Amino acid sequence: MADATLGFSGVSVGYHGSPVLTDIELNVHAGQRLTLVGPNGAGKSTLIRSVLGLVPVLHGSATVLGRPPAQARSVTGYVPQTGSLDAAFPVSARQVVMMGRYRRIGWWRPARAADRAAVREALERVGLADKAQRQFGVLSGGQRQRVLLARAIAAEPRLLLLDEPFNGVDAVSQEAILRVLHDLSAAGTTVVLSTHDLAVAREFSDLVCLLNGRQWALGTPAEALTASALRRAYGGHAVDVDDGRTVLVEP
Amino acid sequence: MIEPFTVPFMGRALAELALLALICGPVSVLVFVRRLSFVSDALTHTVFPGVVIGFVSGGAEGLFAGALIAGVVTAVLLTVLTRGGALSDDASAAVVLAAMFSIGVVIVSRRSSYTSDLTSFLFGRILTVTPRQIAETAVLAVIILGVLLVGARALIFRAFDPAGAAAAGFRIVWLDLWLNVVVALVVVAAVRAVGTILVVALLIVPAAAARMITSRLAVMAVLGSGLVLLAGYGGLLLSWTASVDHGISLTSASAVVLILVLAYVLLPLGALRLRRHPSGSVRPERTSPHELVG
């Protein structure tokens, strides 16, 4: 059997020796869609960064496509939160997407026709081919997020990681992003995204991982997002409503 | 307008400034997008004692070596210290830089030719540039442009999105060292011609001014080089005219910088006039014009 895309067993991750997240058990295969759910500060971003090899694994064994995380970066794509980037940076949408090709291009040679084609195709997939020459900063939040998704696609990853891709994103862009992610997973790319939107988690995922300092549940949306699991992970912020569902309320 | 440059020392000064223009355009773009004006400023403070110690112990030859050693050591130290936000305390960093600068002043003040030496270290001696110095600047220019060309893509990626660049497999600390050393080499190349104080202007103003009228990085680099060249030509001409025709003593390097700063002030006005005409959605999204003096 082929290696799992993500194989985390008894993993703790954190900074300077002190764990941020413990008890991580993940076994995710090619083409699966995994959603990381949890409140702010739960460690969702930390888990994503550990898959990228940017946060050290303190205990347990972690592999990404059969390799140690840091050695799998050539096959992983990462979509940061658009809010973390400087909107005034003088760069066009096309140039941002081209950054996804930089590792393939290497240090010495200029971009080739294949690189330009990959950039064009990625922009088309996210529906922004006509915005290629626009300044990244003048695009809307949702369009910027789609440009960053196009950048990750241009790298042709086998594992795609998205950190809160729907924060500050309009409904049109959210739909566009979800559609692209579905297509990618159907074609065999594993997709991992973090969100605090339970509706997205229920509709989008094959697997949901419920986090808050540790892994509280893992399974299909129905298995992982139960009322009792949500209450355990969210404490007093998870409240039962009349139709039997559990919703989250602001503290 | 060309005649003054037929005088050999004027021609050499212009050649030196043209070489500096070639490197300062592209380098200032990276300094601008990485917001490294602090590093540039720090370098000018720490290169100063290097220049002085080099000069005192080995004359004009030692000056170059002293600047090079001080510049590269500072670049490495700054990379290590700023890694992981260890150098978050601006005040303590500023104290260290002021101390370095004072050490330079103390050493130079022990010499009998104190005032003229100090002036030349701070403001350069563009009019006494020798052919050998021009050759050295040319070699440094080739090295700097070569190193920059290879690293440009990764350096811009890192400036735009450090987390994304790291996730793509780029080693951020090496890229930071790379750029800091490049900036140090520019300071070393420019320090004899325009002095430690004015080199900051050459590293910051070209890109900041070009940014007012374009948002394309490559265009910014070319425009930045063009601006330094124009300012170099205009500044030399101005100081020549002032002293030959009017008997006013105007140091050439400060005239160059004055014109550069003037361009920085005037360009947005020109750009504003262009934008009055209805077109596009160009916004004058000015990031901080950067603190020019530390």
Q: Å from B229 to nearest chain A CA?
A: 23
Residues of B with CB below 8 A from A105's CB? 153
B62 touches chain A (CB under 8 A): no
Q: Is residue A145 part of a domain?
A: no
Distance of CA B42 to the CA centre of its chain: 12
Q: Which domain holds residue A37?
A: 6-86+158-248
Sign of torsion over alpha carbons A171, A172, A177, A180: positive
Q: Is the pLDDT of residue A59 over 80?
A: yes
Chain B, residues 195-234, CB within 8 A of chain A, namely 211, 214-217, 220
Which of B161, B174, B213, B288 should we substitute to test contact with A (largest number of A Cβ atoms within 10 Å)? B161
| Segment among A107-111, B4-8, B87-91, B134-138 with least mean pLDDT | B87-91
Digit-coded pLDDT (tens) for B156-174: 999 999 999 999 999 999 9
| Residue A140 at interface with chain B, using a CB cutoff of 8 Å | no
In a domain? residue A174: yes
Q: Is A128 part of any domain?
A: no
A75 and chain B: CB distance < 8 Å anywhere?
A: no
ipTM here: 0.90
Asked if residue A176 belongs to a domain, the reply is: yes
Flag whether residue B95 sits within 8 Å of chain A, measured between CB atoms. Answer: no
Note whether residue A92 is domain-resident. no
Q: Indicate whether A236 pLDDT > 90.
A: no
At A145, the pLDDT band (50, 70, 90 cuts) reads very high
Q: Average pLDDT of A152-157?
A: 95
B217, pLDDT greater than 80: yes
pLDDT computed for residue B255 by the predictor: 86
Instruction: Note whether residue A229 is domain-resident.
Output: yes
From chain B, the residues in CB contact with A92 under 8 A are 216
Please tell me the distance from the alpha carbon of residue B258 to that of residue B249, in angstroms, as a whole number: 15
Instruction: Give B84's DSSP letter.
Output: G
Range scoring the smallest mean pLDDT among B31-35, B44-48, B114-118, B215-219: B114-118
The shortest C-alpha distance from A103 to chain B (Å) reads 7
B151 touches chain A (CB under 8 A): yes
pLDDT band at A246 (very low <50, low <70, confident <90, very high): low
Range of lowest pLDDT (A10-14, A237-241, B5-9, B243-247): A237-241
DSSP letter (8 states) at residue B22: H
Q: What does B237-248 look like in DSSP terms, one character per residue?
A: HHHHHHHHHH--
Closest CA to A76 of A175, A190, A164, A228: A190
* Closest-CA residue to A162 (of A193, A196, A189): A193
Q: Do B157 and A54 touch (CB under 8 A)?
A: no
Q: Is B9 on the interface with A (CB under 8 A)?
A: no
Express the helix, strand and coil content of chain B in percent, nearest 5 each: 85, 0, 15
Any CB–CB contact under 8 A between B86 and chain A? no
For chain A, the farthest-separated pair of C-alpha atoms sits apart, in whole angstroms, at 63
In a domain, A164, yes or no: yes
Instruction: Please state the domain count of chain A.
Output: 1
Is A136 in contact with A91 (CB distance < 8 Å)?
yes
CATH code, domain carrying A59: 3.40.50.300
pLDDT in the model for residue B80:
80
CB-based contact A27:A7 (threshold 8 Å): yes
Other beta carbons within 10 angstroms of residue B278's beta carbon come to: 5
Domain ranges in chain B are 3-274
In 3D, which of A48, A44, A100 has the Cα closest to residue A74? A100
C-alpha triplet B200, B204, B206: angle, nearest 5°: 120
pLDDT single digits (tens) B41-82:
888 888 888 888 888 887 777 888 888 888 888 888 888 877
Instruction: Give me chain B's average pLDDT, please.
Output: 83
- Asked if the Cβ–Cβ distance from B160 to A85 is below 8 Å, we say yes
Interface of B with A in 229-288 (CB under 8 A): 281, 283, 285-287
| pLDDT (0 to 100) of residue A51 | 95
Q: Which residues, in sequence order, are CB contacts of A43 under 8 Å at separation 6+?
A: A13, A20, A21, A211, A212, A213
Task: Indicate whether A73 pLDDT > 80.
Answer: yes
Confidence of residue A207 (pLDDT cuts 50, 70, 90): very high
Residue A136: its pLDDT value, please?
Answer: 94
**Residue carrying structure tokens 């900074």:** A15
Answer whether CATH 1.10.510.10 is correct for domain B3-274: no
Is B205's pLDDT higher than 70?
yes
Residue B293 has pLDDT above 60, yes or no: no
Least confident of A55-59, A110-114, A180-184, B75-79: B75-79
Query: Looking at residue B265, what DSSP letter applies?
Result: H
pLDDT score at A243: 57
Q: Is the pLDDT of residue B114 over 80?
A: no
pLDDT in tens, B251-289: 788 888 888 888 888 887 777 766 665 444 444 443 343
Task: Fill in the amino acid letter for B93.
Answer: A
Q: Is B138 on the interface with A (CB under 8 A)?
A: no
Q: Average pLDDT for residues A118-126, to the nearest whole number?
A: 96
DSSP string, B184-238: HHHHHHHHHHHHHHHHHHHHHHHHHHHHTT---HHHHHHHHHHHHHHHHHHHHHH
Q: With cut-offs at 50, 70 and 90, classify the pLDDT of residue A190.
A: very high
Longest dimension (CA), chain B: 63
Q: Which residues pair with A208 in a beta bridge?
A: A35, A219
Mean pLDDT of A39-44: 88
Q: Do A73 and B169 touch (CB under 8 A)?
A: yes
Taking CA atoms, what residue in A is nearest to B146?
Answer: A108
Instruction: Look at A76 and B167 and tell me if their CB atoms are within 8 Å.
Output: yes
Confidence bin at B36 (pLDDT 50/70/90): confident
Query: Which of B28, B153, B178, B288 has the most A C-beta neighbours within 10 Å, making it the best mutation to test the interface with A?
Result: B153
Sheet holding A159-162, edge to edge: A76-79, A159-162, A190-195, A33-37, A207-211, A215-219
Tell me the pLDDT of chain A averaged across its residues.
Answer: 90
Dihedral over Cα of B216, B218, B221, B227: its sign: negative
Give the strand pairing for A76-79 and A18-28: unpaired
User: Which string of DSSP letters, residue by residue, matches chain A?
Assistant: -PPPSEEEEEEEEEETTEEEEEEEEEEE-TT-EEEEE--TTSSHHHHHHHHTTSS-EEEEEEEETTB-GGGGGGGEEEE--GGGS-TTS--BHHHHHHHTTHHHHTTTSPP-HHHHHHHHHHHHHTT-GGGTTSBGGGS-HHHHHHHHHHHHHHT--SEEEESSTTTT--HHHHHHHHHHHHHHHHTT-EEEEEES-HHHHHHH-SEEEEESSBEEEEESHHHHS-HHHHHHHHGGGEEE-TTS-EEE---
pLDDT higher than 70, residue A238: no
CA-based R_g, chain A, Å: 18
CB contact under 8 A, A91 and B169: no
Is B151 in Cβ contact with A135 (below 8 Å)? Answer: no
CA B159 to chain centre: 19
